Each structure stands twice: as C-alpha cells, then as structure tokens.
Amino acid sequence: MSTTAPTREALALHGGTPVRKVLLPYGRQAITEEDIQAVAETLRSDWLTTGPKVNEFEEAFAAWVGARYAVTFSSGTAALHAAAFATGIGSGDEAITSPLTFAATANCALYQGGRPVFADINKDTLTIDPEQVSFLINSRTKALLPVDYAGHPADLDALLKIAERNGLTVIEDACHALGAEYRKQRVGSIAHMTIFSFHPVKHLTTGEGGMVTTNDSKLAGILRKFRNHGISSDAGDRQREGQWKYDMVLLGFNYRLPDIACALGLQQLSRLDANLTRRKEIANRYSSAFREIPGVIVPAVSPQLVPAWHLYPIRFELGQFTVGRAEIFRALRAENIGVNVHYIPVHLHPYYRDRFGYKGGEFPIAEAAYESLISLPMFHGMTDEDVSDVIGAVEKVTQYYAP
C-alpha cells in the first residue's frame, strides 16, 4: 500500500465491485471425513447417548487442558448453569462478571435465583478489571465469573487472589479460550471451574455442547449429578451392576451430551493443536497489516499469555474516520466480509434494563469498547486468500473513510 494520497476505490456499498464474490463468515466449523466416520460408527454402536464416548472424551479433554476432571454438558450455557449450581449460588447471592460478554455468562446466576453484578473492564485487554471487582465484593458475593474475551485469558492471578481473600469461587467462562495459556499453564486447570462451549463457531465443535473442567473432586461429583436429573449413578453403572435402583439426591436437569456428539468431539480434539496454530498465524497477519492503519486498534496481548484467538476484534478510534462504526460495518459486509460485533453489553439488553434499571452509562469502558468494535472473520479453515481478502477490504474501507 502506498502512503501517498489515499486512493478511494468505489465501495461495494455504493455499487463498486466487492472484494470477494461470496460472503466469508466470521466463524465456522471444519468437519473432516474422520469426524463423519467416527459419528457414523457411534450411530451403529449400542450407545447413542451416555456410553463409552462420553468418558473417553472427558478423559482426553481433561488431559489436554491439564485438569483432573472434565464433565460434559449439552451446551456451554448448561455448563455455566451447572457451575453456578455447584458453587451454591442461591437466592440473593451475587456473581461478579463482565458486561462485555454473551448473555449466557450473566444469565447463569439468574437461573439460580442469584444476581449478576457487572464490573467494568480493562480498556486494553477488554477483560474484567480486578480493581473494579474488589470494589463490588460484599457479604452476598459468592462467585467471580471472568470471561476470556476473544480468547485472551482474564487476569486470573489477581482474581484468584481476591477470591481466596473473600472465600469466593472463580468460574472462568473460557468459551472463547480453549487452548489459551496463562503464565505457561493452559486455561482449564487454573480457576475453580472453567467453562467451554462446543458450538460450531468455537475451537472444537460437537454441534451443541459444553464442558466444565475442575481439579476439585467434590465439584466434579455435583456437576455429574446435576447434568443427569440429580441422579447419583448413570445408566452404564446400573447396567454393569445389573440393578434397577437409583437415587435422585439433588434437583438437576437433563443436560447430557450424547455419545454421538462426544465421538465428534474426540476427533475434533485430535486437531486442536493445528487449529490453534492456524488461528495464531491469521492473527499475526492481521495485526501486522492493521497496525499500519491510523485509527485502527489491534487486540492487545498481555505478556506471559498465549491467546486462543476465538475472535479477532479491532477497534476504530472515534473521530479518525468520516463515518461511525455502523457505516464501516455496513461497508465491510457489502464487501462480503462477514463482520460481527461482540458484544452488546449484557446490561443494555431490554431484559436487564427492565429488571435491574440499567440506563446505559454505568460501565463506560465496556460501552465505549462496544461502540468501536468490529470482529473480523477468524476460524482455522480460512485460506491465505481469505485472510488477504479481509485485509484488503479493511484497507479499502478505512482508506475510503479516512479524513
């Protein structure tokens, strides 16, 4: 790109030729023949739901993240609900979380009759600010619910220290961060419980699915019962022991992940390392290109961290372009770049406004981040050409709207 007078190529938004012919989504799964084979074999086997693949997947996943226990769930949302239950969150109890997340993170406290309390975020990493967290702790606080935004781990050391001082449980929402490292340790073995999602846009998919990892055997036991109606044994145990009796010991749900899905998860896990390497390559190409564009802020990476790059969100500095974020977003979509925005801050959703009286302005850093964010396509199946298209489109649109 020349740095002389900017060339203003006609935007697709105004009838110009789009950078690509077909829309590139912001995220998508990659399914191989081996994945299909594994699912087909399970369909031909004796077990469709809770059978041998569940244990195999849980053991392989626990080993991969370096945690003692892994418990599968039917979704990341169900996994969050179970973690809130296992923490003992009840009526009137508070869980402190980030406003810049998917609503499910905060909702899990509501499922238990508790209340999500939001703490503003760090302006660089966009993860929850431990100092803001410590201001909010009181006798009703039960849990901290940090989010590893975009795949960048939250400030876990500081949060665990606060938790220890106040007798709290840290439930880390790592739905973006499978494979991320925090001080040379993989996410999944650090917080009291860590939550993962296997939705198709995430690093590893089972269609729908989720996981909680923990090193605490007592928590693992509660999680296993909670996903199976609160019953203290599973169908496999009963068949092996040839008995009909079972005990329901707590009020749980049917949140089980079937063997069919776990067979897919096991196959996907075997390619996770390659997937993470590819995401890192894409992030590096993006960051070196976008760092050169005035008014564009690339994602910050704290020292001693390895992000998992679920998302690649860039921010546009207000006043550095002749239009706002909404117009830049529309222009990139017209170029067939499937941009997205992560996230509308949770407290600004109508349900939260109505129930808790939020009006906007309560969390200025999260709200300002939201106003300026655009997530660019980021998934391991992207080709080098796809990456070039995204870079070309961002350059084209930002040059067009440069002052």
Total residues belonging to the chain: 403
Phi, psi of 232 (to 5 degrees): -90, 5
Min. distance of Cβ 217 from ligand PLP in angstroms? 25
Q: Which span (97-105, 132-140, 158-166, 352-360) binds ligand PLP, by CB under 6 A?
A: 97-105
The residue among 87 and 101 lying less far from ligand PLP, judged by its C-beta, is 101
- Is residue 202 among the annotated active site residues? yes
Contact between 366 and ligand PLP per CB under 6 A: no
- Smallest separation (angstroms) from ligand PLP to the CB of 220: 20
- Smallest gap, in angstroms, from Cβ of residue 197 to ligand PLP? 3
Q: Is 77 in the site for ligand PLP (CB under 6 A)?
A: yes
Q: Is residue 147 close enough to count as binding ligand PLP by CB under 6 A?
A: yes
Q: How many C-beta atoms lie closer than 10 Å to residue 244's C-beta?
A: 6
Candidate list 142, 202, 225, 396, residue with the active-site label: 202
Of residues 105-124, those binding ligand PLP (CB under 6 A):
105
Interface residue with ligand PLP among 26, 102, 226, 309 (CB under 6 A) is: 102
143 touches ligand PLP by CB under 6 A: no
Among the listed residues 112, 197, 340, 372, the single contact to ligand PLP using CB under 6 A = 197
Residue with Cβ nearer ligand PLP (147 or 308): 147
* Residue 104 binds to ligand PLP (criterion: CB under 6 A): yes
Q: Does 76 bind ligand PLP (CB under 6 A)?
A: yes
Per-residue binding string, ligand PLP, 204-223, x by CB under 6 A, is: ------x-------------
Tell me: does residue 72 bind ligand PLP (CB under 6 A). no
Q: What angle do CA 394, 283, 64 make, to 5 degrees?
A: 150
**Residues of span 154-183 touching ligand PLP by CB under 6 A:** 173, 175-176
- Candidate list 75, 87, 213, 267; residue touching ligand PLP; CB under 6 A: 75
Q: In this structure, what are the phi and psi dihedrals at residue 274, rounded to the nearest 5 degrees?
A: -65, -40
What sign has the CA pseudo-torsion 356, 358, 364, 370?
Answer: positive
Instruction: Quote the least distance from Cβ 76 to ligand PLP, whole Å.
Output: 3
Which region among 22-30, 70-78, 226-234, 348-356 touches ligand PLP (by CB under 6 A)? 70-78
Size of the site for ligand PLP (CB under 6 A): 14
Residue appearing with tokens 């702790």: 137
Binding site for ligand PLP (CB under 6 A): 75-77, 101-102, 104-105, 147, 173, 175-176, 197, 199, 210
The residues that are catalytic are: 202
